[in-house]
A = this chain, B = another copy of it.
Amino acid sequence: MAIAPLSNINGSNPGLLRLLSKSNPSLPSISLPHKPMRFKVAAMSQSKSHWASINEDLVTHLKHSIPIRPPLVVFEPMHHLTFAAPETTAPALCIAACELVGGRREEAMAAASALHLIHAAYYAHEHLPLTDRARPKPKINHAFGPNIELLTGDGLVQFGFELLARSNDLTAQDNSDKILRVITEIARAAGPQGVIDGQYCNFLYTQSNWKDSSQVEMIKRVSEKKEGELHACAAACGAIVGGGSEEEIEKLRKYGLYVGMTKGMLYGIGRNYEKCLVKEEVDKLRTLALNELRDFNNGVELAAISSLVEAELCNA
């Protein structure tokens, strides 16, 4: 990785960025804030096509990995729930982080797929009709009954780990140490001290009465454990499989954490609250996030990855 300062990273144009950003706020959007306007527009367009290309490759890989084949009773709901979940930026961030440290896209594809499959499984489980849960608003369309959606979620998680563990057999090089490290990272982030802890807290908070003064802390805590941990893990995993240094891995882990927290605060649990409540926190997180990218200077890859958090500010 080449080292260079990322100057004037806060000088973006929110209006222009909002105009160019995708309609789905959970998708990676675009910006390149530290260049004159004509370069900005070109770079934004480049970042946008960079994310689009990452997402396209990821979808192709997932479709290839989960074809609709016998037993249909198993693979039809698997295929459906894999693509029914709203997109999350974590898998794409994993690939972008891999490319930022000089790795090849295909090196991060298994980790990114596993992250997406776990996200899809948890989304299905979060929307099961359980007796002690408030019904989700808006209601989602259930293509299958609750029992099948529960089982399919369990199956998606296992399939994600299988894809990841098997990925070592697909390359000539032995990457077993890296893959084991990635499995540990993902299992920990998606587990009881990461996303599951966030889901517990989310559930407890939704059953409590929160005053304005503590709402922000609650939103921040849930966002840190849910979207924050998953994005932190995604970026770190991308850097690991891409061959990044320990310093790069930790910088990208922190970048992912801040990106994920802004996602959660704006579109996760935070979506139920007034944006003005969290704006100050989101501003702080954005600055912290961009600071972590200061020592990277890989042109297109840097512009793309930094656009994730730039876009969040614009949409706030």
- Chain A contact residues, CB within 8 Å of chain B: 71, 73-75, 78, 121-122, 125, 128-133, 145-148, 150-159, 161-162, 164-166, 168, 174, 176-177, 179-181, 183-184, 187-188, 190-193, 196-197, 199-201, 203-204
Contacts and interface: CB of A to CB of B under 8 A. Distances in A.
9 contacts: A71-B193, A73-B197, A74-B197, A128-B130, A130-B146, A158-B187, A159-B192, A165-B184, A168-B180
B197 A158 contact: no
Nearest to A162: B187
Given A151-B199, A157-B154, A75 B192 contact: yes
Nearest first, the 9 closest Cβ-Cβ pairs linking A and B are A158-B191, A162-B187, A155-B192, A176-B176, A155-B196, A130-B146, A165-B183, A161-B187, A132-B145
A109 B292 CA distance: 40
Q: Which of A128, A146, A180 has the most CB of B within 10 A?
A: A180
B129 A130 contact: yes
Nearest to A176: B176
A-side binding surface: helix, strand, loop or mixed?
helix
Nearest to A193: B74
Contact of A146 (B131, B156, B187): B131
A261 B73 CA distance: 22
Contacts of A165: 180-181, 183-184, 187
A157 B157 contact: yes
A164 B180 CA distance: 9
A146 B125 CA distance: 12
Nearest to A153: B154
A146 to B, nearest CB: 4
Contacts of A152: 192, 196
Contacts of A184: 162, 165-166
A147 B133 contact: yes
Contacts of A153: 154
